[in-house]
Amino acid sequence: MSRGHIEVVLHESRLLTDNPLGDPSVRELGVYLPPGYDASQARYPTVLVLPGYTGTGLGLVARSAWQLPLDRRMDQLVLDGRAQPAILVLPDCFTRYGGSQYVDSPAVGRYASYLCDEIIPFVDARFRTTGRRGVIGKSSGGYGALHLAMTRPDLFCAAASHAGDCAFDISYRRELPIVAARIDAAGGLARYLARFEAADSRSSADIEAMSIVCCAAAWSPSPSNSAYGFGLGFELPMELRTGALRPDVWARWLAADPLHLVVQHADALRGLSLLFLDAGRSDEYALQLGARQLSDALTAHSIPHMHEEFEGGHRHTAHRYDRSLALVTNAL
């Protein structure tokens, strides 16, 4: 079987230099080159693949039991004729908070600009690309795929979101009081973050709490001297002592919700060659309901798209990349 291969290259970012969290500006970038790349001078479309919260691009090609890594999936899809050969770009947008939501935020860093204005030109200059690009992501990466498709139609002409963060009123709001109680019990946010970073291991509950911190840093940044800025440059959307919702901050989260961005970016979405959504029917964060709401909003605004559901939850769904890679590469 003819196989593609992964090249791991170092990229030094200008945009991530002096980011507020002190995260590295030099990062490993994984690039999958399809079967036949080295034997020809052909050019290939590019697909940016965004992992979920706590993930990195190279994590998508890690070898594990009973699970095909992304590069082997792509090899098989190309061999079977289901997908067209393409270059897959696997970035690292990990931060001290576990991720970036793939947006530009003064509390985290300029990760949307990093991908669009540094990584894409870097890949185009180093590899034989066509200039036709798609973006695929899961969970937080699915949110990132939707966000980039909406805001950078100059770069992307196809997008796929696997259980992407959406409909925050049902997917995030119910977590807020639980996370508030956990942070409050630690003595406040600064102490909680210090304890989290010093820990030898981290519970699933702590990672869930940190995901809310990450989202707050992405979607509700604020001056560090704000009453609720904790000196960290962002605001949480709930009171820590009571868990009560802070409507002003929550409104900022909703303004970042893909469900509420459809109207603003309808023209960009209509211009896509493909827009694909899916989620498991048993998604633990009710993101299948979010995808249904988003699909309804897209339909209401005459935006062509595909929407599917499958048996399963939020985790262990890498097999769904078989579907998105086939659709996106054929659309390109």
For 22-65, what is each residue's pLDDT tens digit?
999 999 999 999 999 999 999 999 999 999 999 999 999 999 88
Name the pairing type of β-strands 104-105 and 109-110: antiparallel
Report the first-to-last Cα separation within the chain, whole angstroms.
24
How many CA atoms are closer than 13 Å to the CA of 150, on its beta-carbon side? 22
User: At how many degrees (to 10) do helices 204-219 and 247-255 cross?
Assistant: 80
Overall average pLDDT of the 220-228 stretch: 67
Exposure letters 64-96 (e unless 16+ CB within 10 A, then b)? eeeebbbbebbbebbeeeebbbbbbbbbbbbbb
**For the segment 148-182, what is each residue's pLDDT rounded down to a tens digit?**
999 999 999 999 999 999 999 999 999 999 999 99
pLDDT of residue 228 exceeding 80, the answer is no
DSSP string over 110-140: EHHHIIIIIIHHHHHHHS-EEEEEEEEEETH
pLDDT value at position 224? 61
The 10 Å Cβ neighbour count of residue 24 is 14
- The residue count for the chain: 332
Task: Return d(Cα 291, Cα 189) in angstroms, integer.
Answer: 32
Instruction: Report the 10 Å Cβ neighbour count for 154.
Output: 8
Q: Give me the sign of the Cα torsion angle 75, 80, 86, 88.
A: negative
pTM equals 0.96
Going by pLDDT thresholds of 50, 70 and 90, the confidence category of residue 232 is confident
Q: How confident is the model at residue 223 (pLDDT cuts 50, 70, 90)?
A: confident
- At 259-270, the pLDDT tens digits run 999 999 999 999
CA distance readout (Å), 111 to 92, 103, 123, 228: 10, 5, 16, 24
Give the CA count within 13 Å in the CB-facing half-sphere of 39.
7
**pLDDT tens, 93-147?**
999 999 999 999 999 999 999 999 999 999 999 999 999 999 999 999 999 999 9
The two tokens of residue 26 are 């030099």
